[in-house]
Amino acid sequence: MTSGWLSWVRANDVEIMTLLQNQASILVKAASVLSESISDFSTLKENNTTLKNLEHEGDQLTHKLFTIIDKTFITPLDKEDISELTSAIDQVLDSTYGTSDKLVLFKIQKPSVHLQELVTLLVTATEGIYKGVSELHKGKREKLLIHSKAISKCEHDGDSVYRLAIANLFETHDAIDIIKLKEVYETLENALDRSRDVADAIEDVALKYR
């Protein structure tokens, strides 16, 4: 990677990179709030409102990013790379809030061990996303690839937990509980899947700008 990559950042470039970092920061906070809810269900309803607000704030940042790159002739990264990153981060945030919302809507009374394991992986993945996005302007290819692989590992581990969770779920005899929890698991697992999309976008950037 050339030593001067992104060192010539212009004003609009600073704004774009800052918005991406802010978006990733909101995502970390959202995953942390969801983790708190699953650790203590008494906080679920209050935290669900917090997550709704964070999801709305994230949507605003995504819209602002798309508006800026649409009006900017030259951007610090290819427009398609920025679009892919901001869209993928937004989708992780949507599914994070969606998990909480379904827990409230379906009146889930207590978390399962698998739910706790999945949300722990999500927290780790979002922290990796924040680190990766924060490294983008530095152009350190090796560090970007390290963060990308760490995020991908969370998604891979999440697949294993999800399969076990579904298998255990169908050992119960309450069809309604099966349907409810299966939807919650799927939404949370989707958040991890979308985090893999962020990892892929970060890896693409690392390999492209070297």
- Split at pLDDT 50, 70, 90, the class of 46 is very high
pLDDT (0 to 100) of residue 210: 58
Comparison of pLDDT for 46 and 169, the residue scoring more: 46
DSSP state for residue 182 in the 8-state scheme: H
Summarize the confidence of residues 88-115 as an average pLDDT.
95
Comparison of pLDDT for 157 and 112, the residue scoring more: 157
User: pLDDT tens for residues 151-198?
Assistant: 999 999 999 999 999 999 888 778 888 899 999 999 999 999 999 999
* 3-class DSSP assignment, residue 2: coil
Q: Among the listed ranges 31-45, 127-141, 189-203, which one has the minimum average pLDDT value?
A: 127-141
Summarize the confidence of residues 97-124 as an average pLDDT.
95
Instruction: Calculate the alpha carbon distances from 6 to 22, 113, 140, 179 in Å.
Output: 19, 44, 10, 49
Please provide the average confidence, as pLDDT, over all residues in the chain: 89
pLDDT (0 to 100) of residue 159: 97
Q: At residue 6, does pLDDT exceed 50?
A: no
Q: At residue 8, does pLDDT exceed 50?
A: no
Q: What is the pTM of this model?
A: 0.90
Task: State the angle between helix axes of 44-71 and 11-39 in degrees (0 to 180), rounded to the nearest 10.
Answer: 160
CB 115 within 8 A of CB 188: yes
pLDDT (0 to 100) of residue 7: 42
Q: At residue 85, does pLDDT exceed 70?
A: yes
**What CA–CA distance (Å, rounded) separates 4 from 8?**
7
Domains defined along the chain, listed by start: 11-208 (1.20.58.220)
The number of residues making up the chain comes to 210
Task: State the angle between helix axes of 79-105 and 11-39 in degrees (0 to 180), rounded to the nearest 10.
Answer: 20
Comparison of pLDDT for 66 and 72, the residue scoring more: 66
pLDDT (0 to 100) of residue 82: 87
